[in-house]
């Protein structure tokens, strides 16, 4: 499911036909990394955008009117999607049938980072196996 969602995201949003997915098995963890050229993620209904001014803060963001995610800012260009079950977030505020939400729930950690100099998006998914 995670790989399908990452590939679908690339097909829909990458500005370059070249996207790379790397699988790293380091027992007891599986890491999936996706790297693609493109524009940084932008939120539709959040006062905060990348680059973030406040670090280590939990904020609610949206990619459309119906989809709401909670993220934790890790640095100016990096954030972690928060799992509502692990973070004690109201499940009623979370989206249904949305790719990033599916990855968040299917993984132990889901982090996004943008590199403004290289104009690259990095997605890092960790799963305990």
Q: Give the mean pLDDT of 26-32.
A: 96
Domain count, the chain: 1
In this prediction, residue 96 has a pLDDT band, given cuts at 50, 70 and 90, of very low
* Cβ atoms within 10 Å, residue 109: 17
* Cβ atoms within 10 Å, residue 80: 19
What is the tens place of the pLDDT at every residue in 41-72?
888 766 688 999 999 998 888 877 666 788 99
Distance separating alpha carbons of residues 94 and 128, to the nearest angstrom: 23
Per-residue pLDDT at 20 exceeds 50:
yes
Range of the domain at 69: 2-39+50-128
Q: Give the mean pLDDT of 70-90.
A: 83
CA angle (42, 65, 70) in 5-degree steps:
60
**pTM of the entire structure?**
0.77
Which range among 10-14, 19-23, 88-92, 112-116 shows the weakest confidence by mean pLDDT? 88-92
Domain-embedded: residue 14 = yes
Domain-embedded: residue 32 = yes
- Report which secondary-structure segment, H or E, holds 96: none
Judge residue 120's burial from the number of C-beta atoms within 10 Å of its C-beta, 0-12 exposed, 13-18 middle, 19 or more buried. middle
Q: Cα separations (Å) of 35 from 11, 115, 118? A: 13, 10, 11
Domain-embedded: residue 44 = no
Domain-embedded: residue 45 = no
Domain-embedded: residue 123 = yes
């Amino acid at each position: 499911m995670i790989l399908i969602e990452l590939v679908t995201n690339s097909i829909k949003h990458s500005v370059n036909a070249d996207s790379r997915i790397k699988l790293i098995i380091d027992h007891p963890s599986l890491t999936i990394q996706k790297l693609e050229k493109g524009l940084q993620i932008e939120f539709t209904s959040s006062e905060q955008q990348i680059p973030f001014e406040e670090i280590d803060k939990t904020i609610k963001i949206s990619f459309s009117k119906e989809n709401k995610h909670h993220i934790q800012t890790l640095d100016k260009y990096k954030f972690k999607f928060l799992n509502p079950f692990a973070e004690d977030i109201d499940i009623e505020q979370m989206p249904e049938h949305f790719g990033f939400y599916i990855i968040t729930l299917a993984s132990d950690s889901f982090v996004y980072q943008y590199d403004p100099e290289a104009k690259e998006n990095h997605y890092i998914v960790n799963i305990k196996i």
